[in-house]
Amino acid sequence: MMNALHEPQSVVVLGGTSEIARAIVAELPPSHLRRVVLAGRPSPVLTEAVAETERDLAVRGSSAVVTEVAFDALDTDSHPAVIGALFAEDVDLVILAFGVLGDQEEFETDPAEAVLAARVNYVGAVSAGLLVADQLRRQGHGALVVLSSVAGLRARRSNFVYGSTKAGLDVFAQGLADSLVGSGASVLVVRPGFVRTRMTEGLAEAPLAVSPQQVAQDTLKGLRKGSHTVYSPAAIGAVMAGLRSVPRPLFRKLPI
């Protein structure tokens, strides 16, 4: 259970290879942490993520045990059993971090790929999010961190399929947070801008780009404050507020 300083003892990452989620784990105070589960599709990348996370935590003085669990966002039929097993022990913090960026041009030429992205980013998240929320409600405590994106705040020609999936995820997470009010459990929606990760490697870097470590630090600040929404960096929130007010004919001409 989290202590008075909001330090978790048990953490589950859905999307265990996520660089942002693993950065959040690495930034957690090590003294209280005992259990970390990286859940994702079995692969050498996931196995290596477990080993790297365990090494990183050990360097920081943590004796936490890091394990991997098979989890597939697309296989929603398996979610009840997988998430139920994860909560066989008390869980303080769940990070919902799975998702795909995809390629807008490919989505437009092959709609099946767009549907696949939507199933991962939104349908899978709805399934997992509802199940996690139910478990947290039963516990009477714990937090769910949902990694959203500022891409969901306004559709852009360059990535509107991805943006639409994040828009759906964001609204879902806000409603989920409201459904948990008074239960002892909570949801924090994290809206990063451009993050330097493997997912964005090779793309032109957008203004106000951040590292996974900065997103992690902003996320933990939000958890400590009891925030419902966090922008990373904070300035991107003001930028997006301005962009959302730009008339569509003008917005379409912006080089974004």
Active centre residues (catalytic): 162
For strands 10-14 and 35-40, give the pairing. Answer: parallel
Handedness of CA 234, 161, 124, 180 (dihedral sign): positive
Point out which residues pair with 229 in neighbouring strands: 189
Exposed (0-12), middle (13-18) or buried (19+): which is 227, by Cβ within 10 Å?
A: middle
Measured distance CA(156)–CA(249) in Å, rounded:
12
Please state the length of the chain: 256
Helix (H) or strand (E) holding 161: helix 160-179
Question: Under a CB-based contact definition with an 8 Å cutoff, are residues 149 and 159 in contact?
Answer: no
